[in-house]
Amino acid sequence: AQSVTQLGSHVSVSEGALVLLRCNYSSSVPPYLFWYVQYPNQGLQLLLKYTSAATLVKGINGFEAEFKKSETSFHLTKPSAHMSDAAEYFCAVSDRSGTASKLTFGTGTRLQVTL
């Protein structure tokens, strides 16, 4: 069964600084990978997804993530943090088999952006 591990339950950065949120997956074959963002009192929104077309995936709001098979990682980055990026971020994984029917989520990383 696949799983994802998000390193760091809380990350704090200054406005304008680089954002790096870490996600490592466990899967016997390259899976589908997703990053979601959750703003306070809202549901989860898709930021970006990896489905194998390109290893560097660009998403909404200036975020991107790079799939690295050798490191089994899919870290989320943004060059310059904005106050509006403060939210909780979830990494998720699903497999490619014909019977795949659900996503497995990480425990989330809360991003704080300070002035």
Residue 61 in the binding site for another protein (CB under 8 A): no
Min separation Cβ 42 and another protein, Å: 6
Q: Are 103 and 49 in contact (CB under 8 A)?
A: no
The DSSP letter of residue 18 is P
Q: Which stretch binds another protein (CB under 8 A): 19-27, 37-45, 63-71, 78-86?
A: 37-45
* CA neighbor of 97 nearest in space, from 35, 27, 26: 27
Residue 49 in the binding site for another protein (CB under 8 A): yes
Q: Which stretch binds another protein (CB under 8 A): 20-28, 55-63, 70-78, 87-95?
A: 87-95
The neighbour count for residue 34, using CB atoms within 10 Å, is 25
Distance CA 17, CA 15 (A): 6
The neighbour count for residue 99, using CB atoms within 10 Å, is 5
Instruction: Output the CA torsion 67→53→65→108 (10° steps).
Output: -80
Residue 107 in the binding site for another protein (CB under 8 A): yes
Which of 18, 54, 60, 100 is close enough to bind another protein by CB under 8 A?
A: 100
Min separation Cβ 15 and another protein, Å: 25
Min separation Cβ 82 and another protein, Å: 23
Residue 44 in the binding site for another protein (CB under 8 A): yes
